[in-house]
Amino acid sequence: MASVVETVKELARPITDELGLDLWDVEFKKEGSSYFLRIFIDRDEGVSINDCENVSRTIDPILDEVDPIEQSYCLEVCSAGLIRELKTTAHINKFIGRTAEIGFYKVPEGLKSKKTEAELISANDDNITIRIGDDEKTFERKAISKIKIDLVD
């Protein structure tokens, strides 16, 4: 049985594709006593409130019909944001050549802390290569806790 997130991604992707948007991410989580289903969308030229509203209005009746979530929840459709986490290889590859904050589960050999800013050089499902100063270093993806990019710069 597919997870809620995977099911919602399958339902949302045709909608975002039709509207000329990228489905950036989907999350389903409990915060306090409430559950939230968040659909994050993106587009190179930016996302408007109308884009969020169009996705929400289109997917809401589909979610009611398919009913992939047992508990009551709040649906939120929002922009992926100017500061965002890069979770997939496609996310990382979209920003090759940009500087990102890389978080590690433990301090890697050759670095002084669990966080560093580095240029994204390449990524695949197993490894990521970054440039810190003049040095290129390759790390296993499983050693990386988080990759965050700030698009405000």
pLDDT 10s digits, 47-74: 999 999 999 999 999 999 999 999 999 9
| CATH class name, domain 4-81 | alpha beta
Read off the pTM. 0.86
Domain with CATH 3.30.300.70 in the chain: 4-81
Per-residue pLDDT reduced to its tens digit, 124-142: 999 999 999 899 999 999 9
- Using alpha carbons, list the distances in angstroms from residue 25 to 18, 34, 42, 115, 137: 17, 20, 9, 23, 28
CATH of domain 89-150: 2.30.30.100
